[in-house]
A and B are shown apart, each in its own frame.
Chain A
Amino acid sequence: MSHNLVAYVGLTHLGLISAAAALEKGAHVICFDPDENLITRLKSLKYPINEPGFEEAINKNKDRIVFTSSLEDLKKADLIYVAPDIPTDDTGAGNLEGIKKLITLIAPYILRTACLIILSQVPPGFTRSLQGIVQPTRIDPEKIYYQVETLVFGIALQRALYPERFVIGVQNTKKALDIKYESFLKSFNCPLLIMDYESAEFCKISINAFLAATVSTANTLEEICQKIGAKWSDITPALRLDKRIGEYAYLSPGLGLSGGNIERDLRTIVSISQERGTYGKVVDSFIKNSHHRRNWPFNIFYNYILPQFSDKNMTIGVLGLAYKENTHSTKNSAALKLISQLKEFNVQAYDPLVKKLPFDSDSIILKPSVSETVKDSDVLFLMTPWAEFKDQDLQKITSLMRHQFIVDPYKILSTNSDIANSKELNYYSLC
């Protein structure tokens, strides 16, 4: 590939992972963020994200990466990716003020020959609306692009290095892609799908809606399986062999949509549907199903476990706080939802990466290890399927507990041992 100089603006999970992937493809990379403290930390090799292969990729290619807070450095870049997080409010709706401010800040430092590429998750119409922001600057409006990102926490670098396809939104589909940008994209050896801004923006949302549909359908059907005595785990292999559903479909039962990004896109669809008078209730149902599903551990606790305790002064152990394994993110985490519901009880929790809760609570103690968390627990919840938890010995765990009530939605613990069949163990999982 050519020697592109690629800048990433907004050093979020997305920005940093994309920068690491660009490094691995041989590009020279500028990582810009107006937060000087963040740049200082990054320069001293303290990274705010945990992703398999990320640190190795950065360290291996450190002679080709610059972390900076200087806007002047952006003048050197051929391609400028903008990748800040789009924060969501309590209802899951996205706030675009941050990304607009960031683009306004950097726009005067972008050369006319450079491309400005929006990588953050934005609603349809956003990229076209940038024309107003960039008008007083040297930026060529035709060199503004929107690129669909498909970041998946925990396997983010792998997906960034080997994308299934690139979906690019352009101002004018009749015009050729900028040659440097095209050259950079082609270095990833995947199909390029070029479409107008609105289609690309909605493409990203559509991908998430389809994922949500699969997750919601799987969770809905699994719940029915629980009621009628069917085994969802027996059904899923048959579904995966159906080409219309597929090997990689999200069929494992879970605790709803976590992470925040998918729910934000679903809210965008519902909002557009309301504004434009289309029937969007099916998508609204995905959100409601997700919220219903997130209550599963709490409902198990109240309906099956709590009635068995005359003394409510019990200790509850929670293993896993992140919304999924291999990430420190707790956005929309089912574990945090559970903990907020159990605030009147004594809760001790452990997560391999999450060492601080996003809210204050006197009744929750963060423990340094699995065994410290399990010790003297009356009830144990396994809320994130970390590999560390999968390796735990059920016999050892139950021997540390005061009472043996285990809620293990993802079936993390192996229940093949004799202890699993003992009368003392009360074990609850999704099927």
Chain B
Amino acid sequence: MTQVAEPQGKRWVGGGILRKEDPELLTGQGRFVDDIALPGMLWLSFVRSPVAHANLARVDVDAAKDLPGVVAVFTGQDLADEWAAAMPCGWPIADRVMPDEPTADARVPDHWPVAKDRVRYMGEIVAVVAADSREHAADAVEAVEVDYDELPVVLDMEAALADDAPVIHEAFGDNRAYTWNLTNGEVDRVFAEAPVVVKERYYHPRLIPNPIEPRGVVVQPVPAQGELTIWSSTQIPHILRTLMALVMGIHEAKIRVIAPDVGGGFGSKLNFYAEEGIAVALARRLGRPVKWIEERTEGYLATIHGRDVIQDMEIAATEEGKTLGFRVKLLADMGAYWMLNTPGIPILGAWLYHGVYDARAYQFECTGVFTNKTPTDAYRGAGRPEATYAVERAMDALARRVGKDPAEIRELNFIPPFDQATEVASGLQFDSGNYAPTFQKAKELAGYDELRREQKASGGRRDGKLLGVGVSTYIEMCGLAPSQVLAAVKATAGGWEAATIRCHPTGKVTVVTGTSPHGQGHVTTWAQITADALGVDPDDVEVIHGDTEFSPTGLDTYGSRSISVGGTALYKAAEKIRAKARTIAAHELEVAEEDLEWKDGKFQVAGAPERAKTIPEIAFSAWTAHALPPDVEPGLFASAVWDPPNFTFPAGAHICVVEVDPDTGQVFIDKFVAVDDCGTVINPMIVDGQVMGGVAQGIAEALYEEALYDENGTLLTGNMSTYRVPSAAELPGFILDRTVTPSTTNPLGVKGIGEAGTIGSPPAVVNAVADALRPLGVENDQVEKPVSAERVWRTIQAAAGQAPAERVAEGGGTGAASMTPEGEGGLV
């Protein structure tokens, strides 16, 4: 029974109601791609290159074809005619970005789902097997014979740019992928005249995203109709459908993409993957359903990686430490090819290398570089963690230079509070911001002043360990994105989002969203927004997503966009519902529309609140259509598409307190405080959950995670036991709080929270370690992530003059690392 559940003053928005998604997931009734089994289904398995760079001299599949259960084996040449288009890059960067900043050399590599004649990274697909079982497919993969004529490998970005470097894509002549520059203000003059300039180099190791559900795809063809249903563990069912139509040359109406329950993404499932295209090609060619489930070790090679960026970061300042200019030069490792967003990822940080600080000059320059490694793409934060890290590490360097406390240097430079869109140093318009109170709150929760007193009194020691305090603030650019801005930066798609609301005669409500959640709780949050907007109970709201048959329009979930773009589309649809409902209510109550007020979740006659109509009542009359006003169509449903006028700019302050064991280099996190400002909060429980998960990933990035290759381009951290995803035992508890500065970009005032934790936390951790090591004479830029026990120990030894010459933390080392993956590490 529907109940109009809003007593006076009560609103669902802002309440931590329990998730509607949970009962199925808690009882094993969730439906993930691997849970799908279809009659006659074939298993796919891939032959992948074991070498990083080679010509394919021979790919012989004859022996494999003869094995039991094998239905087909195809090489890249066999499938060459299946593709109507190459693997798509949806963000091929600009030829021109800002006026007078020519960047005319973006180069899109030739990239096919199965390599035709050359492989350029370990794990690239060389052939595909279809067999009647997983085991038979695996056996056949072993039987494919490939002769690789190996070519010289290039892994380090700076080496790749050298004149004599092996060229990965011969057509380009060298390994430069693009240059993309942005300048605002008189940068050269400001830096030339500034009394203080700090310059440091930082390196962001390669990261492997690691959602706990591996990727997977099932394709069911209906050959007679030429139709396909694709189940994929993807963040982007709508975009995938469009891309699949392009790559396969199939009418979109013939393709249904379903993202069932998706076990995490973090950007790694925001792509068009070769395996998806191949699965469709084989399902069509063989006329049978096919299935592929990624093995984790396979995924470490085949799923995109994140980060892998070198930054030369500079801040110009006064002698007091007042910031005047920010300037950064990036080298960004593309890996061997461009995936959907590869070249665009560093650009997501392009405007943010001044953080939340004032300045009058700004410059960002990025060069993308091809190397013989797995392609990089979006990993939680995507471009913004890189920017935040550089700014926040460099602010600590500035604090050291001018002799100020790290907190003080930040407080000196915060952009003053603003509640209307305001231009900042990079030229962007931030939506709203009030950074000092957020920072103050974090300091209070951390006990910042007492910690500094303790350090002073103890010489930076606590129980024999080195005590360090690290602060970080951050700014994000979320709510992707205003379509016209995307056009300006040469992204192929727009940034709008769609929603539909249907009010049923029973009083129940169906919401259809174009967002595609995979853990973020949209079903619950969207129900809360709807409940307040229409005066219904969240339990009466069903939210449909992730199936292009029922949700045909949308641009999916990434870049902390869902609430600010998708949530606003929903809000706009609800406004349309209310506008129509008001007309019907006025007619039924025999009053003018202006005499009705929306109050307590219903339309009431002003001055006579007992005369009222609820949305469920109006939905019923709209359905019967017995007595509708003239020119009003039957039914109560509405759709809206929201194209945001601007990005949103969540911000926050994180503080980390560490104790470092000087003998082992182990880092113990004593306290982690995160105060985040994501604007209006719809469901605080979910928002806190997003922050905690994000902070955990950020701490993991700071302390543990690093994908390492040997000099041949073999991934050394090639499985889950050598690449260190931390467990509960290696992570601390978190102290969370928030401030609320509503966005001016959308009527809900929301900014987004999915990536905040991952963006704000790494520099707080690394700054804390640098702070702890400072009494030993360790310089700020001698401390680099991951601050693993080995690396910290080496840094301590080097500072004491007792170390071998090797400094692992030296910036600029990329692929061919000399260190081995850390085995035992710090229990935090």
Pairing of A with B = no
Binding site for B on A (CB under 8 A): none
Binding site for A on B (CB under 8 A): none
